[in-house]
A and B are shown apart, each in its own frame.
Chain A
Amino acid sequence: MGFELDRVGLVHANGQAQGQRALRAVSIVAARGERLAIIGPSGAGKTTLLRILATSIRPTEGRVSVLGAHPWQLGAGELRRLRSRIGFIHQAPPIPPRQRAITAVIAGRLGQWPWWKSALSLLYPADIAGPRDQLARLDLADRLFDRCDRLSGGQLQRVGVARVLYQRPDLLLADEPVSAMDPALADLAVSQLHSEAQSRGVTLVASLHAVDIALRWFPRVIGLKAGEIVFDLPPAQVSDSVLRDLYASETALPSQDSEPFHPHVEHAQEAAGAARASVAPPRVI
């Protein structure tokens, strides 16, 4: 009951990338509780792949099945229920700057709570212990009632992670979830994603720029390049030569603590989002 992608492809239908191919014949089958890392150079299609799994874009080719359902054959209500079981950690956390951290975390459950409970929570949070515990896992409990525009980029990213942990999804997708954190915090955040996946049998898919984190934490690593799967291996078999091929055009292997290049934002759209969210410089090392 994880997910299944069967020869999925995507050609952008509109926007400035119109006609460009983002993904070609991607097939991945993941069981419940499996943990996958997706690595690859910038523009390889990692974000697009995750967004297809999140049912936020519809592939132009192939079949998608997520948590045992075919999202594009569902009615509106059923699709919403399915989506409330999918958590997506964005690289630039989509959180309004003036919102308090607790409200931003509570927003993870909007799809599950009755509407009156969500509406009242704008005035007084219906659950304080829950968000506090999730933030505590990421060492941020002391900022529970702070406004998000007072947080650094890395702290904001942890609020974004806490929101999705609080959502308690069955499928957890993470797009560069730790790109703005220092190595120790990045390790902490990824370890929390893991314990969540293991304790509740959550399927976890994370795209990562830092190869060392992918190899250290994930039992299955998928290399993506120019929209195609290059390899799908356990970390022990991901050798240096495999990685060199994957990052052929780049100079050094990216890692979390020796980031050789800036975290490239893969879509112009995201870049705009990141700029508007007025997050501090993405990298805080």
Chain B
Amino acid sequence: MSAVSFAERRAALGFCLHCWLSLLLLAVLVWGSFAYLSLDLARLFTAESGRGMLQFAMRFFPPDISAEFLRKIAKGTLETLAISAVGTLLAAGAGLLLALPAAGRMGGVLKGLTRFLLNALRSVPELVWAALMVLAAGLGPFAGTLALALHTSGVLGRLFAESLENAPPEPARALAESGAAPALAFVYGTLPVITPQLVSYSLYRWEMNIRMATVLGFVGAGGLGQMLYYELSLLHEPQASSVIIAMLALVVLVDAASAWVRRRQMRPAG
């Protein structure tokens, strides 16, 4: 039996300097993160802290399911849904208006400007918009609605602009060449082509916004989040746990509904 050569050993190791170095770098980054935050995981998982956690968790049980409180939760849920729906609707309208210049239909200068505006709207998180809107419109669901509308118009505006750019130009061009005004050529020739796409983008964002609307209340922008924040700050843990269960149910239901809709769309039309 011949000896195993160095090259063979190296090959057997699956040696790839670049892979091992990347893994090492990752490990260092993760370790560095923990070190920077001075997180001591071991301390978190001692028996004592476990007992503390358990005690903390037990305070949330049993949840408050008195009829009176459930009514409040229903109201909060409805408010959350309303914030997300109205916010998304406003955003779809504003997004379409902004998408027209952003798709380059009104000249290069406007295109650059609106693209910048859309990016700015999109990059500021919903929660930050909510904190700003609470200053501008006062506490309550209207601030949350505006916050979602602002962030989502940035997202939808960009998606809509892409749809517009990819839409076939022929129908609208044919109408313009038979003397139709540009706006009419757009609504008769381009809008019907892209409408299904616009609707599906908006529904998808609505789904995400329902999730988001549950937490906007932490900065005072209405909905279930505001209830949770309020109850927790009064140390009403049973009530808080009811609100959390409602949030969980809402998110899971929306997830299931959207999966169901998507499965239906995937089915071949027949």
**Chain A contacts to B: CB under 8 angstroms:** 54-56, 80-88, 90, 92, 94-99, 103, 107-108, 110-112, 115, 118-119, 122, 164, 167, 169, 272-273, 276-277
Pick from B171, B178, B189 the residue with the most CB of A within 10 Å.
B178
- Minimum distance in angstroms from A173 CB to a CB of chain B: 10
* Count of inter-chain pairs, beta carbons less than 8 A: 86
CB contacts under 8 Å to A, within B173-215, are 173-181, 183-185, 187-190, 192-193, 195-196
The 8 Å CB contact of A110, one of B168, B170, B184, is B184
Cβ contact within 8 Å between A277 and B170? yes
Q: Report chain A residues within 8 Å CB of B179.
A: 80-86, 110-112
The 8 Å CB contact of A97, one of B184, B187, B193, is B193
| Mask of B133-148 contacts with A, CB within 8 angstroms, 1/0 | 0000000000000000
Cβ contact within 8 Å between B196 and A110? no
10 closest Cβ contacts across the A-B interface?
A111-B179, A84-B179, A110-B180, A96-B192, A94-B170, A94-B174, A83-B179, A276-B168, A94-B171, A273-B170
User: Nearest A residue to B181 by beta-carbon distance?
Assistant: A115
**Bound Cα distance from A80 to B196, whole angstroms:** 30
Q: Can you identify 7 A-B contacts, CB atoms within 8 angstroms? A: A56-B177, A94-B173, A94-B175, A115-B183, A118-B184, A122-B188, A276-B170
Size of the B side of the interface (Cβ < 8 Å), in residues, is: 23
**Bound Cα distance from A197 to B184, whole angstroms:** 28
Cβ contact within 8 Å between B171 and A95? yes
- Minimum distance in angstroms from A157 CB to a CB of chain B: 14
**Bound Cα distance from A81 to B180, whole angstroms:** 9
Q: A54-B177, A83-B178, A94-B171 are in contact. List 6 more A-B contacts (CB 8 A).
A: A56-B177, A83-B179, A86-B178, A107-B180, A110-B180, A118-B180
Cβ contact within 8 Å between B188 and A111? no
User: Nearest B residue to A160 by beta-carbon distance?
Assistant: B174
**Bound Cα distance from A49 to B123, whole angstroms:** 50
Cβ contact within 8 Å between A94 and B189? yes
The 8 Å CB contact of A277, one of B168, B175, B180, B195, is B168
- Minimum distance in angstroms from A93 CB to a CB of chain B: 8
- Minimum distance in angstroms from A41 CB to a CB of chain B: 24
Q: Report chain A residues within 8 Å CB of B173.
A: 56, 94
Q: Report chain B residues within 8 Å CB of A81.
A: 179
Q: Report chain B residues within 8 Å CB of A272.
A: 168
**Bound Cα distance from A86 to B178, whole angstroms:** 6
Q: Report chain A residues within 8 Å CB of B192.
A: 96-99
Q: Report chain A residues within 8 Å CB of B175.
A: 94, 107, 110
Q: Report chain A residues within 8 Å CB of B187.
A: 119, 122
Q: Report chain A residues within 8 Å CB of B181.
A: 80, 110-111, 115
